Amino acid sequence: MEIAKRIDRNAGVGQQQAFEKLIFVTNLVFRDAYEYLLPWKRLFGVHESQIDDVMRESAKSLYASLLKSVGRGLDIGTLIEVRRAQLAYKLSDEIAAEMFREHAKKLVEENISSALNNLNNRTQVVEEVKSILAFNGSLTILSKFPGEERFIRGLGPITLGGDSDHEKRVEDLKMLYSAYAMEVLSDGHLNDDKLAALNQLRNIFGLAKYEAEAIISDVKARVFQTY
d(CA 112, CA 149): 30
Note if the pTM is more than 0.85: no
d(CA 201, CA 176): 10
Position 13 in a domain = yes
| Cβ neighbour number for residue 4 with a 10 Å cutoff | 17
- Per-residue pLDDT reduced to its tens digit, 100-157: 999 999 999 999 999 999 999 999 999 999 999 999 999 999 999 888 889 999 999 9
Q: Domain range for residue 20?
A: 1-46
d(CA 163, CA 158): 12
- Are the C-beta atoms of 134 and 171 separated by less than 8 Å? no
Q: How far apart are the first and last CA of the chain?
A: 80
The tally of domains found in the chain comes to 1
Position 38 in a domain = yes
Position 225 in a domain = no
More confident residue, 209 or 6: 209
Position 197 in a domain = no
Position 104 in a domain = no
Position 14 in a domain = yes
Position 85 in a domain = no
